[in-house]
Each structure stands twice: as structure tokens, then as C-alpha cells.
Amino acid sequence: MPIRRARTEDIDLVCAMRVAFLADHRGIGVEELPDGFAAGTRDYLHAAQAAASVRSWLATDENDGTSDRCAGVVTVLLLAMPPSPEDPRVLEGYVLNMFVVPGARRQGIGQALFDACLAGSAAAGVRRLFLRATDDGRPMYERAGFATDTVWMDLHLPLP
């Protein structure tokens, strides 16, 4: 299945794939996600794409923008960061939604998507990529050179 960069008209498809990824990752049905989640995701993607702060790649037939013909997606959220003394580039990328539908796994689609993401991010001048690895994805990320980082910490703030 060919890999291509998502276009503006693919927002609904990218959104559907993100929703499918999160449901799959959590072991629940899409219908079990909170009401409004898909709409909020679509609104976010629309705004982020308009601001050029997100890039996605799809494994789908070129002329078919439907989720039933899409085998996978990967998205990078581009973050503007100050330059460092060692590297003047100012973009970093948070890889999210690396997902291949269950029936298409173990066929090289995930690797092809990730390779497109890496090449596209490098071409965009991204200096560093980071992600949260699933158990299934970890070996692929490690083969690409990603390493577990013991420096970064995170804090989830409570909802207001």
C-alpha cells in the first residue's frame, strides 16, 4: 500500500485513524470513547494543520480517502523550541498516532510509515523526535535509534 503525506482534505481520515488507534490501544470499542472526542480531535487537527504545526502520513490508496481503505497513519506535532548552542534548528517533533490497523500489521506498513515520517521530519529541519512507545512499537523505534531517556519527567495536571 503506498505511503503519502496527508493533505487538507484528509483531516477526517486522519481523525478516524487517531480515534481507531486510541480505541485499539486502550482495548475498547470506538463507541466507548467519550462523546465529543472525535469532534474535538477533528477541530484540533484542522487548526493544527492550518497553523502548519502537524504533519501526517497515510498508508492508503492514492485516490481513496476513506478509513476502510486506510491501513495506517503516523502524525508528528511540530514544536517551536529555542536553538541550543549545539544545534541551531528550532523544531522538535512529537510523534503520535503511529498506527496500523490490525488486519494490515506485520506487512511492513508501519515501517514504511515511520520511514516516511523520519525522512519528512528531517527534510522539515526537525532536530529531535520524541514519542511514547507502545510495547508493539518499541522494537521499531529502537532500531531507528530512539533511546529511553532517563532525564525527562512529566506531570499530568488535573482537569479544572
Q: Is the dihedral of CA 31, 32, 37, 41 positive or negative?
A: negative
Please give the pLDDT value at position 66: 55
Q: What percent of the chain has pLDDT over 70?
A: 96
Per the structure block, which three cell numbers stand in for 129?
523526535
pLDDT above 80 (res 26) = yes
Q: Between these two residues, 153 and 68, which has the higher pLDDT value?
A: 153
pLDDT above 90 (res 108) = yes
C-alpha to C-alpha distance for 135 and 27, rounded to whole angstroms: 14
C-alpha to C-alpha distance for 134 and 141, rounded to whole angstroms: 10
> Domains along the chain?
3-143 (3.40.630.30)
Please give the pLDDT value at position 142: 95
Q: Where do we find the cell 544545534?
A: 87
C-alpha to C-alpha distance for 61 and 48, rounded to whole angstroms: 24
Please give the pLDDT value at position 63: 60
pTM across the whole model: 0.91
Please give the pLDDT value at position 64: 55
Q: Span 20-28, mean pLDDT?
A: 95
Confidence of residue 150 (pLDDT cuts 50, 70, 90): confident
Confidence of residue 65 (pLDDT cuts 50, 70, 90): low
Q: Span 33-49, mean pLDDT?
A: 96
Please give the pLDDT value at position 68: 62
Distances (CA, A) of 26 to 30, 77, 81, 89: 10, 21, 31, 35
Q: Span 28-33, mean pLDDT?
A: 96
C-alpha to C-alpha distance for 145 and 129, rounded to whole angstroms: 11
Please give the pLDDT value at position 149: 85
Digit-coded pLDDT (tens) for 113-137: 999 999 999 999 999 999 999 888 9
By three-state DSSP, how is residue 105 classified? coil
| Closest C-alpha among 126, 112, 152 to residue 55 | 126
